Every structure is written in C-alpha cells, then in structure tokens.
C-alpha cells in the first residue's frame, strides 16, 4: 500500500496561519462580549472612557455649571432605556457625589439663576433625580411651583413622588413622562439638592 504523500511545508504554514487567525478572532469576540456585559451591568452599553478612569471631584463651580448646561436633553421625546444621553447624566452624578456640597450648591444656583433658561432647569431637575433615589412614595416638598407634564395629565396622574419623572429598570434609567413646562415660583435646584441630601440616598450607579 503506497505511503501517503507528505504535506508540503507551504500548506502547513497556511493551515497554521488560518488556525492562529481563527483563535485571534475568537479571543477578540470574547473580549468584546465581556466589555459589553460589564457596560450593560452598569446601565450603559459599552463603558465610556470617563467611566473606566477614576472620577475626581469638582473644585470649580463654574466648571460644574458648564457641564450641567452641556447635558443632552430631549424632554418631549421618549428618553427610554436605550437613550445614550443617560450615560452623561450618570457620569456627572458620580462626580457630584464626591464633590464638596458647597461647590455643587454654588453651581446649581448659577444654572438656575435665570428663570428664562427653562431647559437648563430641566437638566438640573433630571440630574438630581439621577443622583438621588428616594423611597417609593416620598412626597414632594411643599413649594409654590411645579413641573407640567401633558402625558402624566392625560393619564390622570397628579400625585408624583420625588423620583418622578426618572424611572429605573434594573440598571437602566428612563423617562416616565414628558416635561412640557413649569408653573409658579422659579425652580430652585440648590434648595432641592439640600432637601434630597437629607431625605434621600445617592444612587449606586
């Protein structure tokens, strides 16, 4: 019986190269899946560079105020579980948690100083809901102003707790309702921050 022909060196090299390439691709896919899983557990998707590096506290209220004004906002469209803007709110919330409260108070006062800048006030309100998690049913403090939501009004909802309008599903955030305006005395983000500090807890993001 004739002996099998010896496999050529070039064929062995090609097969070894293909096998090595397959292992490399499989390893890359595995790393990608692990990164996605970690990001998913954190409520984001893929971890951002900000989340993967230690976050430092704000020292300058002007910088914090500028970052608040730069937060994304789409208050009249669905900001659901997959909305990428939540990542910016969560990163900013994490930095605020380790920031001197006096720096935060000064920044919030500066952002909310002009009642005509309604969108900035909405950003502050949403950011504080991302920062703090209040016990279910925690009543809102007595004020002479309040947020208008057509979607909540259409459902007949009038008793909103302090987590509204931000909801949480496992590790992800979402908007429960639209924000369509504000009525009454000017919104005071600094005062609300102080109230949340004493009645609610920082979220574990």
Residue 19 falls in which region: left (phi positive, over 0), alpha (psi -120 to 50) or beta: alpha
Does residue 34 form part of some domain?
yes
Q: Specify whether 65 is located in the same domain as 157.
A: yes
Residue 120 sits in the same domain as residue 193: yes
Total of domains in the chain: 2
Task: Write out the H or E segment, with its range, that includes residue 132.
Answer: strand 132-133
**83 and 13 share a domain?**
no
Closest to 141 measured CA to CA, from 194, 92, 177, 201: 194
Same domain, 122 and 27: no
From first to last of its 205 residues, the chain has per-residue pLDDT tens of: 444 444 454 543 444 454 544 444 444 444 444 433 334 334 333 334 344 445 899 999 999 999 999 999 986 666 788 888 999 999 999 999 999 999 999 999 999 987 678 999 999 999 999 999 999 888 777 777 889 999 999 988 877 889 999 998 887 899 999 899 899 989 999 999 999 999 999 998 6
Domain presence at residue 158: yes
Domain identity same for 197 and 122: yes
In this structure, is residue 46 part of a structural domain? no
Shared domain check, 130 and 37: no
How many angstroms separate the CA atoms of 106 and 91, rounded?
A: 19
Same domain as 65, residue 29: no
Specify the length of the chain in residues. Answer: 205
Count other Cβ atoms within 10 Å, centred on residue 86: 24
C-alpha atoms less than 13 angstroms from C-alpha of 18 in its C-beta half-sphere: 5
Q: Please give the residue range of the domain that contains residue 152.
A: 61-202
């Amino acid at each position: 019986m004739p002996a099998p022909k010896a496999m050529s060196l070039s064929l062995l090299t090609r097969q070894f190269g293909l096998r090595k390439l397959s292992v490399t691709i499989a390893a890359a896919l595995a790393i990608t899946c692990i990164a996605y899983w970690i990001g998913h557990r954190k409520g984001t998707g893929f971890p951002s560079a900000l989340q993967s590096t230690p976050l430092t506290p704000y020292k300058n209220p002007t910088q914090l105020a500028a970052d608040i004004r730069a937060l994304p906002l789409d208050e009249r469209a669905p900001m659901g579980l997959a909305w990428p803007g939540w990542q910016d709110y969560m990163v900013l919330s994490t930095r605020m948690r380790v920031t001197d409260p006096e720096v935060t108070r000064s920044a919030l006062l500066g952002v909310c100083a002009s009642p005509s800048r309604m969108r900035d006030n909405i950003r502050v309100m949403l950011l504080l809901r991302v920062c703090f998690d209040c016990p279910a049913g925690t009543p809102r403090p007595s004020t002479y102003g309040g947020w208008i939501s057509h979607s909540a009004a259409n459902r007949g909802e009038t008793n909103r707790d302090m987590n509204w309008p931000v909801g949480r599903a496992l590790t992800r955030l979402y908007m429960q309702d639209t924000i369509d305006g504000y009525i009454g005395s000017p919104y005071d983000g600094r005062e609300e921050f102080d109230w949340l500090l004493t009645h609610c807890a920082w979220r574990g993001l």
